[in-house]
Amino acid sequence: MPRKPLTIRTWLTLFTSFVVLTVAFAFGLFCWPAIYRPLTKAFGWKFAQANAGGAIILFLIGILSPFIGTLVDKFKPKRVILGGTLIIAVALSLLSTIHSLAQYYAFCCLLGVGASAVSILPTSILIGPFFSQWRGLAVGFINAGIGLGGYIAPRLATAQIAERGLPGMFLVLAACMAIPFIMTLIAVREEAGSPIRVNTGSAQAPTLGELIRMPMFWIFGVALFFSAHAMLGVQQNLISYLTGEHVTPKTAALILGIALGAAAPGKLISGILADKINARAGMIFSVICVALGVVALLNTAPQSEMVYWLAVIFGIGYGGIFNAAPTIIFEFFGTHQVGKCLGLFYVFFGLGTASGGEIAGYLFDETHRWSVPFTMDLALACAGLVLLLVSARQTRPAAIPARGQALSTT
């Protein structure tokens, strides 16, 4: 198959997708760990109540993914991303006015809708058709924007809360949405999201019914759920854990920022592994790093300098997990009309990320010990790793039949 030429427009589209994930997606998602404790202090809420806002956002990103995939297939990624960016700006502005849990949850719902429309799903499909080779690395590069945004967001939120309070912080984040909106509007052509057929998988995109009958869908999906739950259970509560152990909010935000910043090279590493070996190898590497990071967290004093190093290890794995769904779909089914399939995979991811932080907060409220939820997160990460290791035969692209052939059910 001839290689598709890489033009200036290609690189502009790639960089714009990077910025969309850095600002629109990451700012709306990763500011929350820095906000939970201020919310509990300002309104007298429990951690589980505060965490529920972030859980709602993550849950909606997951369950709306098939719908977003359908919109991407029908209307192209650019329009979906522009609409999502506007919704995020409105939601963040409204969050600056909250006075009750009901308002908080309602505006988080709106933010979740917007975040789902600027997530990895539309941005990956936006750039996927341009790269017949090194597609995993391209996906890893734009997803590295999430790591950069994750490094910036908690530190920006902490600084703005100290300077302007919670309402001012939300308005500053809302204003930042102008950057990805203008770049997407100007730099990305409408044709960039068109269904260009560049398929390196062993089969064409299946129908949803065919996909859910494939063993690889359930194996990767359940492993994705376990690993997403584990990493968000730690990430969403890391600042709360550290500040509760008398680490200053500024230092706690820095440690979380380092972890999320380390997600950027983690995405590149897992992308290269997906290109050189397969998507499963990239996911295994990432889950191992997440598990090692949680083990280190459970056995390291919060004031120790080693906390910074465990944050790096955890972050590398954290970033790689974000790559998993698009690299799996592109490897098996190419880039043409795969929005629905990718969206269905993100249901697992969304359910895992939504439940991770919320259940961790609930377990802390009940036990007053962060070691309890973190230990559970470690167990789930290990379960996901074991599932991936013992299922090699069922997760090879060659084992996936083309449409019209009999589908394996074993």
Return d(Cα 373, Cα 294) in angstroms, integer. Answer: 11
For residue 345, CA distances in Å to 170, 212, 283 come to 31, 10, 14
Residue 190 burial (10 A CB sphere; 0-12, 13-18, 19+): exposed
Residues of the chain with pLDDT under 50: 1-2, 191-203, 399-410
pLDDT at 208: 75
Closest CA to 229 of 105, 376, 51, 115: 376
Residue pair 68/119 in contact (Cβ under 8 Å)? The answer is yes
Return d(Cα 147, Cα 129) in angstroms, integer. Answer: 23
Domains of the chain from N-terminus onward? 9-399 (1.20.1250.20)
Q: Name the DSSP letter for residue 129.
A: G
pLDDT at 5: 60
Return d(Cα 360, Cα 292) in angstroms, integer. Answer: 18
pLDDT at 93: 96
pLDDT at 229: 93
pLDDT at 218: 92
Q: What are the helix (H) ranges across 20-64?
A: 26-30, 36-43, 47-63
What does the chain come to in residues?
Answer: 410
Q: Model-level pTM?
A: 0.69
Q: What is the pLDDT of residues 229-245, one digit of tens each?
A: 999 899 888 888 998 88
Count Cβ atoms below 10 Å from residue 238 Cβ, excluding itself. Answer: 24
